[in-house]
Structure 1
Amino acid sequence: MGRPKFFTPAEVSAHNTVADMWVSFLGKVCDLTPLMEQHKGDALLLPIMECAGKDISSWFDPETKDLLQYVHPLTNCVRYYTPRGRFVHVPPAGPRSDWASVVGAPWWKDRRYQVGQLSAKTRWIRVINTLTSQEQRLQVCSEETLAEILQRYLRYNCHARSYTWKHHGRSLNMSLTLSENKVADDDQQLQQLRLDRDLFTSAILLHFNDDLTEN
């Protein structure tokens, strides 16, 4: 298996409609659009739809990776804890003729919905084209390699592969992350010092290789 794709919270939040709905939980990013289509019109979708584009880790037990559970005070049965209301694949409180048991894994355990992982720490960088003096701010995932960050930057410069990426005069290893390339993340220190991190954003300089790639 290849490396998982990492997403920023902002990228997840952009998918916040029934026709294009993502959520994140326990570090996973899931595209629930097929689930919305499969159960279209079902009231049990409402609690999920209310959290479209958001992180719902609070619904889950980080140890079991399952929904939080509690013991019902009247029946003494273990039930899923769903304060927002029961949703798709959560069984009802008691026997019901209209309830069909889930065949296979519930959606929160079904790997088919997983599209990647949520970044544990995002950071901003400035990508400066030394040939044109154009500058672009990018929010990236700390887990991403420079090659993966390059993929983000291609929307602003489709010839980005024709440049050598440097920081403080050193050529960067595109197979390593920013931290592994000694590009420091000073967010925590800047916050402690109450300094504007926008004024101290790390800069990556792109030097043209005179080897223009095709679109």
Structure 2
Amino acid sequence: MARPRYFTPSEVAAHNTASDLWVSFLGKVCDLSALMSLHKGDALLLPIMECAGKDISSWFDPKTKDVLKYVDPLTSCVRYYTPRGRFIHIPPTGPRSDWDSDFGEPWWRDARYEVGRLSAKTRWIRVLNTLTSQETRLQVCSEETLEEILQRYLRYNSHARSYTWKHNGQILDMSQTLSQNQVPDEDHQLEELLLDPDLFTPALLLHFNDDLTEG
């Protein structure tokens, strides 16, 4: 299986319009823009639109991966629990002649909408270009490899592959994560000590390959 792409909550939050709508839930990130277009004008889109760019894990049962259910006290029937209002692919509470259940997988189970995974823990790093002295702060996913972090950095330096990446004098393994490269995540300890994590952001140094000397 192909490795999933990881996203930060802020990246998901940037997609918050009807024509470009993402949500996250149960660790997944889904692009529902096509769903919004397919059902344009349907009032059942409103609960989804209200949560555009947000995490909606509270809508789901983490064990079944399905929308939460409850027993209706009036009918003793099992119903979907939708306090924000019924939404697309949720059946009506009673028989309806206009309800078409022949839509295949509901959108929350349809893999076609999934674009990646939501990072369980994001962290900030500083990327220092030793050739130009340029410093760039990046928010990255703890699950990302250095190669994937490099992909994020390309927007700031299109020649990033021409550099050797180092931390504390050690060459980083681009196929490994920050933690696997012994770049510690000290956010929790800094929080306990009431220290500003911005003052202790780890730095990755980029050395231009033409400037490297053989020792």
Partner of 1:146: 146
Superposed CA RMSD: 0.8
SS at match of 1:180: helix
Counterpart in the other structure of 2:32? 32
Counterpart position of 1:202: 202
Paired AA for residue 185 in structure 2: D
| Aligned twin of 2:132 | 132
Matches within 5 A, 1:108-187: 108-187=108-187
1:189 matched to which residue of 2?
Answer: 189
Aligned to 2:11: 11
Distance, in Å, in 2 between the alignment partners of 1:53 and 1:205 is 33
Aligned-residue offset at 1:104:
1.1
**What corresponds to 2:53 in structure 1?**
53
Cα offset, 1:2, TM superposition: 1.2
Letter in 1 for 2:183: V
Look up the equivalent residue of 2:208 and give its one-letter code.
Answer: F
Q: 1:102 deviation in Å?
A: 3.8
Q: Percent identity?
A: 77
- Check if 1:83 corresponds to 2:76: no
Query: Which residue identity does 1:156 align to in structure 2?
Result: Y
Read off the aligned partner of 1:144 and give its amino acid letter.
E
Deviations, residues 114-150 of structure 1 (Å, cap 9, x unaligned): 0000000000000000000000000000000000000
Q: Which amino acid aligns with 1:77?
A: C
Structure 2: runs of 5+ lacking an equivalent: none
Q: Which runs of 5+ in 1 are unaligned?
A: none
Query: Matched residues in 2 for 1:73 and 1:112: separation?
Result: 36
Contact 1:89–1:102 under 8 Å retained in 2 = no
Runs of 4+ in 1 over 3 A off after TM superposition: none
Asked whether the equivalents of residues 18 and 49 of structure 1 are also in contact (C-alpha less than 8 Å), the reply is: yes
Q: Which residue of 1 aligns with 2:101?
A: 101
Question: Quick one: distance in 1 between partners of 2:64 and 2:19?
Answer: 30
Q: CA deviation at 1:103?
A: 2.4
- Give me the whole-angstrom Cα distance separating, in 2, the residues matched to 1:98 and 1:122: 45
> Per-residue displacement from partner, 1:9-55 (whole Å, max 9, x unpaired)?
00000000001000000000000000000000000000000000000
Q: Would the aligned equivalents of 1:120 and 1:142 in 2 still touch at CA under 8 Å? A: yes
Distance 2:46 2:199 in 1: 42
Which residue of structure 2 lines up, in the alignment, with residue 42 of structure 1?
A: 42
Q: Secondary structure at the match of 2:181?
A: coil
TM-score by length of 2: 0.97
Q: 1:181 offset after TM fit, Å?
A: 0.2
